[in-house]
Amino acid sequence: DAGITQSPRHKVTETGTPVTLRCHQTENHRYMYWYRQDPGHGLRLIHYSYGVKDTDKGEVSDGYSVSRSKTEDFLLTLESATSSQTSVYFCASLRVGGDGYTFGSGTRLTVV
Amino acid sequence: GENVEQHPSTLSVQEGDSAVIKCTYSDSASNYFPWYKQELGKRPQLIIDIRSNVGEKKDQRIAVTLNKTAKHFSLHITETQPEDSAVYFCAVKRDFGNEKLTFGTGTRLTIIP
């Protein structure tokens, strides 16, 4: 699945600082998603995008914002990081008419 | 919104035995039911999926069954092998116009040699 990459792979940041995670896909997929993965909770949707400049909130969007200025890039920003946002973040993409997501490799974020 | 429950949360089986993981969902409009496998430190990978017009689908040692009336679907792994040890997630999605997967909470499967 080299068609979708996330950066950085690991990050440690301090409480209160802004953090931006990047997802880049070369598949020309229309739909993109940000999920967080926590023990006991599975994968929970943070935000998603139906296309350039077309985004919407998922079930756990508080404290997060996103932007999609190009088809290939979907950015997730933690406006002021908190310890509860320590998690593994996965980006995913989906083509029009497709079913199963393509996932990125994940970003492990630790907020101290 | 959609609610997906997955059971059990952990499962240990002897190598060669079968494993079954079950998911129930709430939205009767859900029409697509994939299963993902996630090995330690890796990304989730799609292993099998089924649509609501099909009751069962097989791919070698894995199969998925769907009961749309009861709103549940299950993953069956036969002749388990050590490499089947992983976390498995079920998910559900409506068709077209709502392209979001809602995931279950995951099952950690351990194959005992």
C-beta atoms of A33 and B34 within 8 A? no
What values do phi and psi take at B101, rounded to 5? -90, 135
Q: Which two tokens stand for residue A81?
A: 């990081």
- To probe the interface with B, which of A103, A105, A107, A108 has the most B CB atoms within 10 Å? A103
Q: Residues for chain B: how many in total?
A: 113
Spell out which chain B residues touch chain A, with contact meaning CB-CB distance below 8 angstroms.
1, 6, 9, 32, 34, 42-46, 49, 89, 93, 99-106
Residue B10 · residue B110 · CB < 8 Å: yes
C-beta atoms of B100 and A43 within 8 A? no
What is the pairing mode between strands B86-92 and A31-38? Answer: unpaired
The amino acid that residue B83 corresponds to is E
What is the average per-residue pLDDT within B9-15? 98
The answer to whether residue A32 scores a pLDDT higher than 90 is: yes
The answer to whether residue A2 scores a pLDDT higher than 70 is: no
B28-77 pLDDT, tens per residue?
Answer: 989 999 999 999 999 999 999 998 788 999 999 999 999 999 999 999 99
C-beta atoms of A40 and B99 within 8 A? no
A41-61 pLDDT, tens per residue?
Answer: 999 999 999 999 999 999 999
A62-103 pLDDT, tens per residue?
Answer: 999 999 999 999 999 999 999 999 999 999 999 887 778 889
B106–chain A nearest CA distance, Å: 6
Q: Using alpha carbons, select from A112, A90, A88 the residue that is nearest to residue A103.
A: A90
C-beta atoms of B49 and A100 within 8 A? yes
Q: How far apart are CA B48 and CA B33, in angstroms?
A: 9
C-beta atoms of B44 and A90 within 8 A? yes
- Write out the E strands in B1-113: 4-7, 10-14, 19-25, 32-38, 45-51, 56-59, 62-67, 72-77, 86-92, 102-103, 107-112
With H, G, I as helix, E, B as strand and everything else as coil, classify residue A91.
Answer: strand
Cα B18 from chain centre: 14
The answer to whether residue A1 scores a pLDDT higher than 70 is: no
Provide, as residue numbers in chain A, all residues whose Cβ is less than 8 Å from the Cβ of B9.
Answer: 40
- Identity of the residue in A50, A59, A100 whose CB atom sits nearest the CB atom of B1: A59
Long-range Cβ contacts of A57-61 (<8 Å, 24+ apart): A58/A33, A58/A34, A58/B100, A59/B1, A60/A36
The answer to whether residue B98 scores a pLDDT higher than 80 is: no
